[in-house]
Chain A
């Protein structure tokens, strides 16, 4: 018998190493398999069953998907989700980029960290509370309506809450913080020599930005935008609190299946649809998204 110190040959040494490595990686892999892959596969299978009355029909069929495409109430959920997500992503990037740029370029170096911490401070309110706090601002007797009425801008309170606008505002508020952080870290990593070189070669400020800074920060922007897309399209809380029941998004419809009707197969099918939407978004930005080891 060879003990740990004196192994017989080179291959035995490598085998022992490999066994050890498997031991290290196994717990994480098993956890992911048991609580992510298996449930997901189970859900995917369940989306091919259906609910009839009070019973679960365990026969493979596409009824749920057929219903999704034929029933307007369901399909409209996907349309609403996509519209809101795209609007939110675009507005958030457009608002966050200048902010990140101003913090990186205009704010003095020693204050930048502070400026950044401030910019993401509301991030630390509880997620549910953050949406709720917008309700305080936007509701019929909320801050905005009261303020506008007191200065005589409007005579009747505006219906701001329970609208798509409220959902978008709530989302944008969250994602501006997230994107400011990612875009800032991208801008700050950019060597100032690129801009010096561009200026040296005769580019003006706008040309430098358009031809040099923007392309170099694009991967960061796309990573942030993709993250925004994924988090936004799958969120239930913000549209439920701020959007109300007027224009349901896909996650709200999924939750409805679970709650009122206990229709798990339909909820599963809708989840698969949601998943596919994210996958399409991923494929669209895949060439900018990279996860690498330093």
Chain B
């Protein structure tokens, strides 16, 4: 089964600390949602409120159209997959997975059959008689998933389930998680602080910071068209260039920066439409710098820069480029493997206008 989730201006205050600040979010049935953010951003608090382990200080939570704000965990159509898996150490895997069914009064034969089915789903049917301590981390994670799914929840809540796994296993489990979610169709709400993981599995990502939602959308949109500086910075490496809107009309804007002036489409102002005189910050992903001017699409140039250092990263060269025009911070660029860059060389700073996102400036930048 599956159900939509609606979070309406939910706040959670612990003493003097505001963990969630009037958060609203609508999740469609069957969606794979990832709550992404640094530790302390409120993502785990939000998940706990969805699971019923915490009650919000104010606001409302509905699941499948029903008010769940103060319903205890056992009466919710949600199950939680805990970060430490929380498998029952004294039970066999089949009993772990069948526990929820047992609580629902299913007879042993029936629940064993269902439990075996779910163990099969995660590829552990052959280990049904083992106990959790005999399993590897990845296997435990799968059992936890099977146990949470066995009671057929409308919404599955996953609290950093891959956090304890090493990188290689983590990438593998991401794919499996995604595949299983597609198969069962349950709404998944998954918490993580790893943006690569978020992009690998999410239908839509919710970027959170300091108890608020910074950005919400499909991975490509969050990455290419971030709606906040925090979101841009958290999703991957990015260069910030501060500037000012010199002139703006309905379709484009002229921006002045220390590196020169450039014209940008109005669409690139993702947070709010450009107005002349606005102080803004341009965000440019390192891979959007072009090594040469022959790149496809219209490019804008930010003058020239000296290569201050470069390192080969396999998929690209990571270069520090010191703009010639000013002595501001060096920019980071990812240049293709084919580019031959030497330290001290002068290169043009060219980007496609469509790749540059302009956001309202804040204190730092």
**A residues within 8 A CB of B55?**
9-10, 13
Complex contact A6–B71 (CB within 8 A): yes
Chain B binding surface, main DSSP class: loop
A2 to chain B, nearest CB (A): 9
Please measure, in the bound complex, the distance between the C-alpha atom of A208 and the C-alpha atom of B55, giving whole angstroms: 54
The residue in chain B whose Cβ has the minimal distance to the Cβ of A4 is B72
Number of A-B contacts defined by CB within 8 Å: 22
Q: Count of chain B residues with Cβ under 8 Å from any Cβ of A?
A: 8
Tell me if B70 and A10 are in contact (CB < 8 A). Answer: yes
Chain B, Cβ-Cβ closest to A17:
B72
Q: How far is the CA of A242 from the CA of B224 in the complex (A)?
A: 89
Cβ-based interface call for B220 (8 A):
no
Whether the Cβ atoms of A6 and B57 lie closer than 8 Å is no
Tell whether A8 is near chain B: CB-to-CB under 8 Å: yes
Chain A positions 18-52 with a Cβ under 8 Å from a chain B Cβ: none
Whether the Cβ atoms of B74 and A5 lie closer than 8 Å is yes
Q: Determine if B364 is an interface residue (Cβ-Cβ < 8 Å).
A: no
Confirm or deny: A7 has a beta carbon within 8 angstroms of a beta carbon on chain B: yes
Docked CA distance A6–B67 (Å):
10
CB distance from B151 to the nearest CB of A (A): 15
B56, B72, B74: the one within 8 Å of A7 (CB): B72
Taking a contact as CB atoms under 8 Å apart, the answer to whether B70 and A8 are in contact is: yes
Query: Bound state CA distance, A6 and B61, in angstroms?
Result: 13
Q: In the complex the two chains form, is A13's CB within 8 Å of B57's CB?
A: no
Q: Which of B55, B56, B70 counts the most A-chain CB atoms under 10 A from its CB? A: B70
Contact A9 B72 (CB under 8 A): no
Shortest CB–CB separation between residue A24 and chain B, in angstroms? Answer: 18
> Is B294 in contact with chain A by the CB < 8 A criterion?
no
B15 to chain A, nearest CB (A): 14
User: Chain B residues near A4 (CB, 8 Å)?
Assistant: 72
| Residues of B with C-beta under 8 A to A7 | 70-72
A6 contact set on B, CB distance < 8 A? 70-71, 75
CB distance from A11 to the nearest CB of B (A): 9
Closest Cβ of chain A: how far from B20's Cβ, in Å? 14
- Bound CA span A4–B75, Å: 9
Q: Mark A92-118, 1 if CB is under 8 A from B, else 0.
A: 000000000000000000000000000
Q: Are A5 and B71 interface neighbours, CB within 8 A? A: yes
Smallest Cβ distance from A50 to chain B, in angstroms? 56
Contact with A along B60-79 (1 / 0, CB 8 A): 00000000001110110000
Chain A residue at minimal CB-CB distance from B68: A6
User: Are A5 and B75 neighbours in the complex by a CB distance under 8 Å?
Assistant: yes
Chain B residue with Cβ nearest A2: B70
Give complex CA distance A10, B54 in Å. Answer: 8
Residues in B whose Cβ lies below 8 Å from that of A9: 55, 70
B42-90 contacts to A, CB under 8 A, are 55-57, 70-72, 74-75
Task: Note all chain A residues with C-beta closer than 8 A to B57.
Answer: 10
Bound Cα distance A13, B74 (Å)? 13
How distant is the Cα of A6 from the Cα of B74 in the complex, in angstroms? 11
State in angstroms the CA–CA spacing of A13 and B57 once bound together.
13
Closest to B54 in A: A10
Contacts of A5 on B, CB cut-off 8 Å?
71-72, 74-75
What residues of A have a CB within 8 angstroms of the CB of B74 in the complex? 5
CB-nearest residue of chain B to A8: B70
Smallest CB separation, B67 vs chain A (Å): 9
CA–CA, A44 to B70, complex, Å?
50
Give chain B residues whose Cβ lies under 8 Å from the Cβ of A13: 55, 70, 72
Report the nearest A residue to B72, measured CB to CB. Answer: A5
Q: In the complex, what distance in Å separates the CA atom of A170 from the CA atom of B74? A: 58
A7→B55 CA distance, assembly (Å):
11
Taking CB as reference atom, which chain B residue is nearest A5? Answer: B75
Nearest A residue (CB) for B76? A5
Give, as a whole number of angstroms, the nearest-CB distance from A43 to chain B.
44
Q: Which residues of A contact B75 (CB under 8 A)?
A: 5-6
The CA-CA distance from A8 to B71 in the complex, in Å, is 8
Complex Cα spacing A10 to B57, Å: 8
Q: Which residue of chain A has its CB nearest to the CB of B58?
A: A10
Q: List 14 A-B contacts (CB under 8 A).
A: A4-B72, A5-B71, A5-B72, A6-B70, A6-B71, A7-B72, A9-B55, A9-B70, A10-B55, A10-B56, A10-B57, A12-B70, A13-B55, A13-B72
The 10 closest A-B pairs by CB, nearest first: A5-B75, A10-B55, A7-B70, A6-B71, A9-B70, A13-B55, A5-B72, A5-B71, A13-B70, A8-B70
Given contacts A12-B70, A13-B72, 10 further A-B contacts (CB under 8 A): A5-B72, A6-B70, A6-B75, A7-B70, A7-B71, A8-B70, A9-B70, A10-B56, A10-B70, A13-B70
**A contact residues vs B (CB 8 Å cutoff):** 4-10, 12-13
The chain B residues found within 8 Å of chain A, CB to CB, are 55-57, 70-72, 74-75
